[in-house]
């Protein structure tokens, strides 16, 4: 039998003894039969844990008790701040209870993966609730795939879903309804109100951890955890639409900004460099990169605040992608020691290297 996916910490401390596999079996038996007085949220959590018990009788008892809970009690508990995996378990354990499923669909703690599971099988008003949750659909495209594959999905809802997909940059190539939506949306007059609403949905779909600025790690363990988190976040970027990336570039934290400034899509990269949180040290990091676009460099060159910094000017001059007119202008402010390096730099444009040599020669002659 697979171990319980719900962490022990999800159970309120007074009731942990009733789910502890190493504790007395009678305590788990009583809880599995619903004989332990508990608040509804704890009842649902404990029963969900016991559905994974190694003892077949305890497991079966918990499953039966959970399924037999009065709709009012179960739905009330499912609207509370439950652990996401408890909500996921109940969604799969009692899908026949409409009031319970409705409570799960409105609970913000419900995992997106649970929505995708339900989207494949629901019908009627509950299915419509999934269709209407565009934030989740954009954040987790498998929900849309499940809706498309659900034979109970109305064509009108699929059409609206595909219109939304086109407007937000989601890709469902090969789906007939998506190809029809592209023709429909792209040929329709521009709707500014709808564009504004879509933008709000896009912003709401952005993961919170990508928006908050990260603190500096103080220990080696914190640094390792931060790096692991950073890798996870960067993987998520690859699954996002262009619309999400643009919105994220405008509001994201340092990790996100530095990644999206180098994005192949210039619209995304430009949005990232215009993020108000960009610092001078980040600008220097961007300018010294060969992966940055010339458009981003142009924006940096035109920013008087950033180009007051000698380090920024030097990095711009040393980057072969910097527009030559700007490099020539900043060259005059470069110290002789650095000018010598530029004069011999084979990576910069030859015109810039020649200008550096001439400038260096004049300075030496004027001594």
List, in order, residues 6 or more apart from 132 with CB less than 8 Å away. Answer: none
Asked if 343 and 318 touch (Cβ cutoff 8 Å), the reply is no
For the chain, give every domain's residue range.
1-107, 111-183, 303-367
Phi, psi of 357 (to 5 degrees): -65, -45
Tens digits of residue pLDDT in 286-337: 999 888 888 999 999 999 999 999 999 999 999 999 999 999 999 999 999 9
Quote the pLDDT of residue 81.
93
H-helix or E-strand spanning residue 336: helix 336-343
Whether pTM > 0.85 for this model: the answer is no
Q: Which of 239, 293, 246 is nearest to 267 (CA)?
A: 246
Quote the pLDDT of residue 207.
81
Q: How far apart are CA 118 and CA 110, in angstroms?
A: 11
User: Sign of the CA dihedral 8, 14, 19, 24?
Assistant: positive
| Nearest-5° Cα angle at 156, 155 to 157 | 90
Q: Which residue has the higher pLDDT, 212 or 186?
A: 186
Categorize the per-residue pLDDT at 86 as very low, low, confident or very high, splitting at 50, 70 and 90. very high
């Amino acid at each position: 039998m697979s171990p319980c996916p719900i962490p022990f910490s999800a159970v309120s401390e007074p009731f942990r003894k009733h789910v502890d596999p190493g504790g007395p079996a009678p305590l788990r038996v009583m809880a599995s039969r619903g004989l332990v007085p508990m608040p509804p949220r704890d009842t649902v959590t404990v029963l969900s844990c016991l559905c994974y018990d190694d003892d077949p009788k305890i497991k079966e008892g918990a499953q039966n008790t959970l399924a037999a809970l009065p709709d009012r009690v179960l739905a009330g508990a499912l609207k509370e701040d439950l652990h996401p995996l408890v909500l996921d378990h109940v969604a799969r354990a009692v899908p026949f209870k409409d009031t319970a499923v409705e409570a799960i669909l409105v609970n913000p703690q419900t995992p997106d993966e649970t929505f995708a599971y339900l989207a494949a099988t629901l019908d009627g008003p509950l299915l419509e609730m999934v269709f209407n949750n565009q934030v989740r659909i954009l954040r987790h495209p498998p929900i849309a795939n499940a809706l498309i594959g659900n034979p109970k999905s109305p064509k009108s809802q699929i059409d609206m879903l595909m219109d939304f997909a086109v407007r937000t940059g989601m890709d469902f190539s090969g789906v007939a309804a998506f190809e029809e939506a592209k023709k429909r949306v792209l040929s329709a007059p521009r709707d500014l109100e709808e564009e504004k609403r879509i933008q709000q949905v896009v912003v709401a779909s952005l993961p919170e951890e990508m928006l908050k600025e990260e603190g500096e790690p103080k220990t080696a363990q914190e640094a390792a955890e931060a790096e692991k988190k950073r890798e996870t976040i960067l993987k998520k970027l690859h699954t996002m639409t262009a619309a999400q990336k643009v919105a994220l570039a405008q509001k994201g934290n340092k990790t996100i900004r530095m990644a999206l400034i180098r994005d192949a899509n210039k619209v995304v990269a430009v949005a990232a460099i215009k993020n108000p949180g960009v610092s001078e040290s980040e600008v220097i990091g961007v300018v010294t990169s060969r992966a940055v676009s010339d458009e981003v460099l142009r924006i940096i060159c035109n920013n008087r605040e950033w180009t007051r910094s000698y380090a920024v000017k030097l990095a711009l001059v040393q980057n072969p992608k910097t527009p030559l007119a700007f490099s020539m202008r900043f060259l005059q402010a470069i110290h002789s020691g650095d000018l010598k390096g530029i004069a011999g730099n084979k990576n910069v444009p030859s015109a810039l290297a020649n200008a550096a040599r001439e400038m260096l020669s004049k300075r030496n002659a004027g001594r």
